[in-house]
Chain A
C-alpha cells in the first residue's frame, strides 16, 4: 500500500478530530455523506490520488480528482481508515451538522432527521432498477421520461417508482443536509400566519 501523502501530516490533529460540540456525535451516528446518499463522489487533493487508488478507493479524474461514493472504507457507519482518511472527509460539513452546531436544530431532532433520511434512502435503494443510486439519480435529474425506456416505449412501473422515490430522497436531503451552495429546486412553504399553499415541480431536472 502506498504511504499516505505527507504533505498534510502537519495538520494531523485536525485530520483525526470530529467536529466540535454535539455535531461530532451526530457524525458518528450518521455517515450519510460517506454512504453516497448526499453526493456521488468526494474530491481528492492531487497528492492523494495515487495513495487513494492504492488503498482501494475508486478514483476518477473527471472534473478534478475525486473518489466515488459510497466509500468502500465505511464499515457499519464507521470509517475503517479514520486516521488516514482523505483531507476532504474531516473538512466536509453538511447543512445539518452546521445547524446542530449553531443550535438551530436540536441534536435529538437531528437524529430523527437522520433516521428519516435513512428510511427514504432504504426505500429508494430497494426500488433501484439500475446498479447504483448514483445512476438512478442521474436518470431522475437528466433523463426525460420519454428517454427513460427508449426501447420499450413506456417506462415500467418499477422505473417510475424508482424515479419517484429517488426524487423524494433528494428533496429531503436538499432541505436538511445539503449546503446552501447546492442547487435546490424545492423549498418548503414558510408559515406566515396564513395557510400558504403551494405545489412546485420537485427534483433537479425533468422528472
Chain B
C-alpha cells in the first residue's frame, strides 16, 4: 500500500472501548473480535474520531511522542496497514 501525506485515514468501524491505563481494549461488534491497542495505537484511534490526512496524523503524534520523523513515518505506516487489514480503518 502506498501512503502519501495526502492520504485520508478514517475509522472503518465503530468499537466499544474500555480504557486500560493509556491503552485500549476494544470490541468490534460487527467482526465479533476484541482488539488491544497499545498507547500509541490508542492515540491514533482517538485522533481518528474524524478522518485525517496522514500528514495531520503525523503532526499530532509528533507533539505527543519524542521520536524522529523517519521512525514515526515507518511505525505509523506499519500500524495503519495493520489496522486496515483488520478492518478498523480505511485509507483513500
Which residues of A come within 8 Å of B, CB atoms? Answer: 116, 144-146, 155, 160-161, 163-165, 167-168, 171-172, 186, 188-189, 193-203, 206-207
B17-52 with Cβ < 8 A to chain A:
17-18, 20-21, 23, 25-27, 29, 32-38, 40-41, 44
Chain B interface SS verdict (over half) = mixed
Q: Is B10 an interface residue (CB 8 A)?
A: no
Nearest CB to that of B68 among chain A residues? Answer: A194
Contact between B37 and A206, CB atoms less than 8 A apart: no
How near does chain B come to A38, taking the closest CB pair, in angstroms?
A: 17
Interface flags for B39-81 (1: CB within 8 Å of A; 0: not) read: 0110010000000000000000100010100011011101100
Nearest CB to that of B78 among chain A residues? Answer: A197
Report how many residues on chain B are interfacial, defined by Cβ distance under 8 Å: 34
Q: Given known contacts A201-B33, A201-B36, is B25 in contact with A171 (CB within 8 Å)?
A: yes
In the complex, number of A-B residue pairs with CB atoms less than 8 Å apart: 91
**Considering the chains assembled together, what is the distance between the CA atoms of A195 and B34 in angstroms?**
23
**Considering the chains assembled together, what is the distance between the CA atoms of A171 and B16 in angstroms?**
16
Contact between B61 and A168, CB atoms less than 8 A apart: no
Q: List 8 A-B contacts (CB under 8 A).
A: A144-B32, A164-B26, A188-B38, A194-B74, A198-B37, A198-B38, A199-B83, A206-B33
**Considering the chains assembled together, what is the distance between the CA atoms of A198 and B76 in angstroms?**
10
In the A-B complex, the 8 residue pairs with the closest CB atoms: A145-B32, A207-B34, A202-B36, A197-B79, A194-B71, A168-B25, A197-B40, A202-B34
Set of chain B residues within 8 Å of A155, measured between Cβ atoms: 29
Set of chain A residues within 8 Å of B79, measured between Cβ atoms: 197-199
Nearest CB to that of A145 among chain B residues? Answer: B32
**Considering the chains assembled together, what is the distance between the CA atoms of A116 and B23 in angstroms?**
14
Set of chain A residues within 8 Å of B34, measured between Cβ atoms: 163-164, 167, 201-203, 207
Set of chain A residues within 8 Å of B71, measured between Cβ atoms: 193-195
**Considering the chains assembled together, what is the distance between the CA atoms of A175 and B67 in angstroms?**
26
Contact between A195 and B35, CB atoms less than 8 A apart: no
Contact between A201 and B32, CB atoms less than 8 A apart: no
Contact between B40 and A145, CB atoms less than 8 A apart: no
Q: Given known contacts A161-B16, A189-B38, A194-B75, is B25 in contact with A199 (CB within 8 Å)?
A: no
